[in-house]
Amino acid sequence: MEVRRITINIAGRVYPLNVPAAEEETLRKVGKQIENMIKDFEQNFDVRDKQDALAMCALKLGTNAEVVSLNYEKNINSTNERLAKINQTLNEIGK
């Protein structure tokens, strides 16, 4: 697995990272997303401190991740229920 050394700039600080080549593009996109979120919070919510903007980003990203996780679980449960019904129907047909 190829590892690359990249730098990500977030809130005026540079973070050097060693990342798998396959993850480089994703990390760069996330870094830009965080930068854009910081700018948005600073412009729209009178945030003056980068630490506050970063905390707000963490809350928003964490909330988004939790919503995705909950939706994933609901979809899995729903799919399992449908598969169980299909299996039951097939078993009844096969008798």
Q: Which residues contact 7 (CB under 8 A, 6 or more apart)?
A: 14, 15, 16, 17
- List the structure tokens of 21: 């080549």
**How do the domains of the chain map onto residue ranges?**
1-92
Q: What is the pLDDT of residue 79?
A: 97
pTM for this model (two decimals): 0.73
The pLDDT assigned to 31 comes to 95
> What is the rounded distance in angstroms from the CA atom of residue 32 to the CA atom of residue 90?
50
Residue of 74, 73, 71 lying closest to 63 (CA atoms): 71
Considering the segment(s) 1-92 as one domain, its CATH architecture is: 2-Layer Sandwich (3.30)
38 touches 50 (CB < 8 A): yes
What confidence score (pLDDT) does residue 35 get?
95
Q: How confident is the prediction along the chain (95 residues), in pLDDT tens digits per residue? A: 899 999 999 999 999 999 999 999 999 999 999 999 999 999 998 888 899 999 999 999 999 999 999 999 999 999 999 999 999 999 989 87
Number of C-beta neighbours around residue 53 at 10 A: 20
